[in-house]
Amino acid sequence: MMKSLISRFFQNKKKEKVVEVRIIPHFEHNISRDNISENAVKVLYRLKKSGYQAYLVGGGVRDLLLGREPKDFDIATDAHPEDVKRAFRNCRLIGRRFRLAHVHFGQEIIEVATFRSMQGAVKTGDRQTENGMLVRDNVYGTIEEDALRRDFTINALYYSIEDFSVIDYADGLNDLEEGVLRLLGDPETRFREDPVRMLRAVRFAAKLGFNIDPLCEEQLSEIGDLLQSVPAARLFEEVLKLFISGVALRSFEKLRHYGLFGELFPDTEECLAHEEHAFPITFVVHGMKNTDTRIREGKSVTPAFLFAVLLWEPVRLFANELRARGEPLLSSMQQAGNEVLMEQLQHVSIPKRFSLPMREIWNLQHRFEQRLGKRPHRLLAHPKFRAAYDFLCLRAESGETDIELAEWWTRFQEVSGEARDAMANSFKGTGNGKKCRRRRRKPRTRPIDSN
Ligand code: ATP
Ligand code: MG
């Protein structure tokens, strides 16, 4: 791809490492300012005019070099967050563990990060917990240092607004060409510093179709349990990125392959491990495929529906168990939903604005069975009918409930007036339900989110 590369070597301040830097001049790579968001270009130029260094970095450079459309544009600079705030009226500083400047342009946010130093991270023990996790990362450094503390080699490429060259500090171009996802530095140390990097590895591998370097892969299976020490609120954000990126199914399969899914959704993983006739795997797989299709078609995907799918199996089994003990239908579902949610929140948090509609989707399921008289009309008028109906269709497609039930409801929506009344008045009811055991887990403690 890029032939005549300008190479030079540099030594970091402690003279520990010699790193080869490759500089690819603007006429030898495919990044053009036309493909960068106008707002990101504005921020780059404003920083430059204010006397600072400014680079596009991370996914923006990586995806443009791959000919893909970047999800967002991240900028790295030697300006400190307060300097960035002074330079932009529309700027907010966020994060404690990792202080960042967000420059707002309507819906678009351009993230500006000050060059970080790895040296401080190693030297100052108070920034790391016992298992090697970085709790603060706000020691500023040079661009060379900043490059080395990034996660993957392909994420450590910098596009300069000064001369439009691409600077490669970590042999990222080579890995980009070979389709390899390689952590910078020792994989175990880097995963311990921030276990979320394990989820990022899976996400990028799924999104780009890259192979994870075997040394990193080994660690994924070895120390996946470190995810338990990550604040549940941060994991919520990462789970969303994994499943609302258009490659939910591939991400789900990879997470399971590396044993990471169980660290995020232990109750669901336990159910998946005891599958009967490929259900519930089929159900989650259908849910993930459905999410990917919606994203491809430009339709919205709500986290409420996504989490309803991911947690349905433990909820369903527990509700059936309660039913078998004589609990009424709705109360079984409510109790089961409550229990499963309480336990899940210790691993991955789900904000109330999503958990409430998620529970409504579950609670409405039994009402689809009631197809006589006024009841189906009332259900149809329910504000959450559409989501609950989509959920019913998924259950039917994966064989968990009768396909006839979903078809009846499809027809019921299609017809109107007398035909609809006739359907409701002529219906003869059915019921279903399986008994299953559900093992209880011990609650665990987790740190308060420090972000
Ligand atoms: P995308 O935006 O497409 O999800 P990205 O690589 O841009 O991918 P961001 O989360 O936007 O990911 O982060 C921007 C850059 O910041 C990354 O490319 C990487 O260089 C650095 N980075 C982000 N998170 C981490 C982390 N946990 N550890 C080290 N570096 C990170
Ligand atoms: Mg990004």
SS3 223: helix
* pTM given for the model: 0.87
220: phi > 0 → left, psi -120 to 50 → alpha, else beta; which? alpha
pLDDT at 12 over 80: no
Going through 368-439 in order, the beta strands assigned E by DSSP cover: none
Q: Does residue 318 contact residue 339 with C-beta atoms inside 8 Å? A: yes
User: How large a percentage of the chain has pLDDT more than 70?
Assistant: 85
Tell me: the pLDDT tens digits for 309-348? 999 999 999 999 999 999 999 999 999 999 999 999 999 9
Q: Which residues of 353-381 are buried (b: 16+ CB within 10 A; e: fewer)?
A: ebbebbbbbbbbbbbbbbbeeeebeebee
Nearby residues of 67 by Cβ (< 8 Å), 6 or more positions away: 30
Q: Encode pLDDT of 364-395 as tens digits.
A: 999 999 888 889 999 999 999 999 999 999 99
With a 6 A CB cut-off, is 245 part of the ligand 1 pocket?
Answer: no
Task: Give 59 Cα–ligand 1 centroid separation in angstroms.
Answer: 7
H-state helical runs in 194-302: 196-208, 214-223, 232-243, 248-257, 261-264, 266-273, 281-296
Strands (DSSP E) along 54-96, which ranges?
54-57, 74-77, 91-94
Give ranges for CATH 1.10.3090.10 in the chain. Answer: 275-425
> 431 and 329 in contact (C-beta within 8 Å)?
no
Q: Is 197 in the pocket of ligand 1 (CB under 6 A)?
A: yes
Give the pLDDT band (50/70/90) at residue 139: confident
Query: For the packed helices 232-243 and 248-257, what is the interaxial angle rounded to 10 degrees?
Result: 120
One-letter amino acid of 163: D
Neighbours of 277 (CB within 10 A): 8
Average pLDDT over all residues of the chain? 88
Distance, CA 57 to ligand 2 centroid (Å)? 8
Per residue in 38-77, pLDDT (tens digit) is 999 999 999 999 999 999 999 999 999 999 999 999 999 9
Residue with CA at minimum distance from ligand 1 atom 17: 58
**Tokens encoding 123:** 């030297």
Q: Which of 137, 151, 175, 292 is catalytic?
A: 151
CATH fold, domain 275-425, is cca-adding enzyme, domain 2 (1.10.3090)
- CA 309–ligand 2 middle distance (angstroms): 27
How much distance in Å is there from the Cα of 151 to the middle of ligand 1? Answer: 7
CA distances in angstroms from 266 to 46, 206, 273, listed in the order given: 47, 22, 10
pLDDT of residue 280: 66
Q: Is residue 186 among the annotated active site residues?
A: no
Domain spanning 20-178: CATH superfamily: Beta Polymerase, domain 2 (3.30.460.10)
pLDDT at residue 7 tops 60: no
Whether 109 is in the pocket of ligand 1, judged by its Cβ within 6 Å, is no
Q: Is 63 a catalytic residue?
A: no
Residue 194 Cβ inside 6 Å of ligand 1? The answer reads yes
Give the C-alpha separation, 421 to 372, whole Å. 9
Q: Which of 72, 213, 390, 449 is catalytic?
A: 72
Which residues of the chain does CATH 3.30.460.10 include? Answer: 20-178
Tokens of 380: 């149809």
Is a pLDDT exceeding 90 seen at residue 86?
yes
**Could you tell me the sign of the dihedral formed by the alpha carbons of 356, 274, 202, 289, in that order?**
negative
Tell which atom from ligand 1 comes closest to the C-alpha of 241. Answer: 4
Identify whether 151 is a catalytic site residue: yes
